[in-house]
Amino acid sequence: MPRTALLVCTALFAALLSPTASRAADDPAPVPVDRFEGEVPFGSQPAEGIFTWGSDGDDPPALRLAARADAPEGEKVLAGTYDISGYGGFTHDFAANAPAHDWSAHKGIRLWWDGQGNAKKVSFEIKDGGADGEASELWTTSFTDDFTGWKQIEIPFTDFTYRTDYQPVGGIDQVLGLDRMWGYAVTLPVGLKGQFAMDDVELYGKADQSLRAGVVADAAVHPVAEGGTAHVKLSVATTGSAPIEEPVTVAYESAGGTAESGKDYTPVKGEFTFPAGTASGASRTISVATRKDRSAENAETVPLKLTVTGAKAPTESPQVVINAHGLPYLNAKVPLKKRVADLVGRMSLEEKAGQMTQAERGALTSQGDIAAYDLGSLLSGGGSTPTPNTPAAWAKMIDAFQLRAQATRFQIPLIYGVDAVHGHNNLTGATIMPHNIGIGASRDPQVAYRAGAVTASEVRSTGIPWDFAPCLCVTRDERWGRSYESFGEDPALVTSMETVIQGLQGRADGKDLSRNDKVLATAKHFVGDGGTEYGSSTTGSYTIDQGVTKVTRQQLEAVHLAPYKTAVDRGIGSVMPSYSSLDILGDGQGPVKMHARADMINGVLKDRMGFDGFVISDWQAIDQIPGDYASDVRTSVNAGLDMIMVPYAYKDFRTTLVDEVKAGRISERRIDDAVSRILTQKFRLGLFEKPYADTSGAARIGSPAHRAVAREAAAKSQVLLKNSGGVLPLRKSQKVYVAGSNADDLGNQTGGWTITWQGSSGKNTDGTTILEGMRKAVGSAGSGGGVTYSKDASAPTSGYDVGVVVVGETPYAEGVGDVGNGNDLELTAADKAAVDKVCGAMKCAVLIVSGRPQLIGDRLGDIDALVASWLPGTEGDGVADVLYGKRPFTGQLPVTWPKSESQLPINVGDSSYAPQFPYGWGLTTLTKVPQGGATTLKALAAVARAAEKTGADDTGRATVTKARLLVQQAAAASDVTPDFAKPFADADHLLLTGRYAEAVRELQEAYATASG
């Protein structure tokens, strides 16, 4: 007999003899779910299929259907290989357009697994309830691969636990109904390069009522004022909402906790029964009366121990919490510093360490960990959203987290944070603003302010009081994948856009933070993240992001530190250090990770600049500090970090921090300072008085008024680089041929950090594409005009007055977008072909939708009009507004537009400066450009001198703008030479620093070059 056949026989014989494999006479026959013989395709929703997923491009496993002679069932098995650094696995989703599966008659699910003996856990999840596989509850369990060869793994449905980190918020019903199943998922081991094989997934056994019915509490925590009565509602819930078939008995008793029975509350004990035939959803209430005395006290807990017969008990015992009362820190009339000092003085070291800990909401092993570890903060990383992704779901989710914090001694509320970097960009339907690069192009501080105000309003309306924005990086190399997060390459431009801080926070003294439309802002990434040297990154395949910034002390102060001084003066509430390293030439330290630089965080930011907010680390950033984990914690906290973003390692971090303090390696004074800074902002935000979401402003999310702000920002961000023959603005009467990959793609238009971390092409939220905006702009008013769209320009091109080709980048975020990491600054072959075809057939305007300049010089001669559209957000109407002349083009380049990649880095102020278009360049439409040449410039110079002398800034700026438009027009008809470009760019920097007379002098020099 062949060895493979012998293995099969042996395995099957053993299975037949196994008690777990045998079937009782009254058990239903096993029901196949997957045989892996090819009956289920590889593919995802809405069709049925098996698909892979992972935390990055390398983490999804490689799957195949493999023919194996030792297959436990049939001829093929599902096999694969994996090498996962973050997380990865695969899912079998049932078709969303077909009825869900009913598994309620069975005891559990089983499968054959080809053991590798690696002792690693394999997570197995099932999808229950909801609309489909992407909007269902997840229930999870695991088994350990501690064997070799084929083994049948049996998993009773009673082993599955509800995944609290994955929403539907609060659960669809938090009952494993089993009658609306949408598939299963397997999460493979991390940190191991391995292989796997599985076969014959099937349902087995007969279900009993304890599986089909459960007792659930209305909440896990029931806060009540001292002297009040808490009412805990317990309900029976069944699969499919059918009446229970057998009685369900619940015995209850108040036991344990920190409250004293008979003194703080009246003890309760009893039993009740839901009779057979009771409807699903029926409830009974247990009331716990608390007793009032005259003493001030911290919060005390009264757990209810439940014993359930005939149904599944709640996953955790509900508890009553007698609220803290009478303590000075709870009194809003007490001065802020005294409230903080009073609370800090009461806290244990463990509680303080908890306040310094921030976890990703999806990483909580249990919501009870919030109280168990005294967590101070949670966050949603990019794409970490509730299901459904709605404002109400966000608010309900965060309120549930805040409720858990009420079970701590001092009921210190959580501060929840998100990366709302261009609007509430994690939320479907929110108003998405242009990315910062476009806001910088607007040159309008009021645009930045209003964008911040809209963002704050929408974020706070979902219960979130903290935004990890704005990014105050000064981008110095367009190969950087985060270029679009910067307002520009000139620190003066970045500083001028910091009005966004007041839009987010309100007044600099922090007195507006408690409003329901303001959030705590975060200046990031301190310091020098925009100046990293190409090729210096050591993070994965990144080339420049998270690399090394090499600067002199003078360059550091003038370029990278300058925006932070302004931010501190504006009252910024928190600061986030950079992943990158800083190498200050001549200081003898070499490159040091910013999260470890005490000289910069403690010395410059806190001591010299006087920053009184708190410093929050970046995502797992302390792990990049050299040394072991204890060293990472010690070094970062001693360097001045106050709260550490440890998304998955929150338990280890808290324990390690406590150990380091007890060992004397971190001082208690440092801990008290950190906690005081954190609590100060929580008090300013009004979280102690109102920890839960104020959703009264939720109707404003994505509202016409908010979208109007984003539309204006999009319009003002458009930079007209070339306009030969006055092709723009378009006229409604013209027949317009539209082409290009980014004309009708909302995801490309919004870029990275939109709904998910990396963003995605296609319709990912609510908004208007550029093409849709153009069609709306034309409406029915065009006599003989109209818009025709052909993405790849394959439609006939004859008979049109003008073409508009919208090209550029697809979404990316952070180092994933670094040039050299699978990216460059060239248009795709398809985009180039579309430009060539359309511009070869008619007058044309090319719009570049991108997070940074694209190399276009080789086609510039064939293009009549060229527009840098950046990443305009959800409001394509704003782009159409300038294309059709509803608004003028007024944007200016926030970064230098290079001729070639070999020029990079190239920035305003460089001694050698030969760009395609200089910093500050931006033609205009609908605006009368001053005439008179050198004579007019001379007169404007005199006005600029007077304005600068008298401090008339509005006049000074307007004067320099007139001079710029005059000079720019002179150069538009000729090549932009290096001799022209340098003084032209320098003039814009001088304008932003208030040196109006010098700016006009530079423009006079540029004009002499262009007209000479």
How many Å apart are CA 815 and CA 758, to the nearest integer?
10
For residues 519 and 522, what is the distance between their CA atoms, to the nearest angstrom? 10
Q: Report the DSSP beta bridge partners of residue 138.
A: 127
Cβ proximity of 128 and 181 under 8 Å = yes
Structure tokens at 1006: 């540029």
Side chain identity at 161, as an amino acid letter?
A: T
Whole-number Å distance between alpha carbons of 1000 and 987? 7
Q: What is the dihedral of CA 188, 190, 194, 196, to 10 degrees?
A: -10
Please report, for the chain, how many H helices and E strands are present, in that order: 25, 37
Q: Which helix (H) or strand (E) holds 609?
A: none
Beta carbons within 8 Å of 429's beta carbon, 6+ residues apart: 390, 391, 701, 702, 765, 766
Q: What does DSSP assign to residue 99?
A: P
Rounded alpha-carbon distances, angstroms, from residue 403 to 328, 339, 733: 22, 22, 59
Task: Please give the Cα distance from 899 to 902 (Å, whole number).
Answer: 8
Q: Which tokens belong to 259?
A: 């409250």
Composition of the chain by helix, strand, coil, percent to 5: 30, 25, 45
Task: For 399-463, give the DSSP string.
Answer: HHHHHHHTTSTT-PPPEEEE--SSSSTTSTTPPPPPPHHHHHHHT-HHHHHHHHHHHHHHHHTTT
* Strand extents, DSSP E, 205-322: 213-217, 221-224, 229-238, 248-254, 269-274, 283-289, 300-309, 319-322
Q: How far is CA 168 from the centre of its chain?
A: 18
CA distances in angstroms from 281 to 189, 233, 309, 314, 422, listed in the order given: 39, 11, 17, 14, 43
Q: Which token pair is 51?
A: 């698909």
DSSP secondary structure, 667-705, as one string: -HHHHHHHHHHHHHHHHHTTTTT--S--GGGGGGTT-HH
For 103, 477, 642, 779, 876, the CA distances from 772, given in Å and listed in that order, are 45, 33, 47, 10, 7
Instruction: Find residue 866's DSSP bridge partners.
Output: 722, 846
Question: Can you name the residues that pair with 974 across neighbouring β-strands?
Answer: none
Residue 83: CB atoms within 10 Å: 15
* Nearest residue to 868 (alpha-carbon basis) of 807, 818, 792: 807
Beta carbons of 694 and 461 less than 8 angstroms apart:
yes
953-972 and 933-950 helices, crossing angle to 10°? 160
What lies within 8 Å, CB to CB, of 816 at 6+ separation is 56, 57, 481, 542, 758
Of the candidates 556, 477, 486, 560, the one whose C-alpha atom is nearest the C-alpha of residue 907 is 477
DSSP per-residue letters across 813-878: -GGGG-BTTTB-SBPPHHHHHHHHHHHHHS-EEEEEESSS--B-GGGGGG-SEEEEEE--TTBHHH
Phi, psi of 344 (to 5 degrees): -60, -40
Q: How far is CA 235 from CA 216, 311, 922, 946, in A?
A: 5, 11, 65, 78
Q: Residues with catalytic annotation?
A: 618, 814
Residue 448 CA to residue 436 CA, distance in Å, equals 9
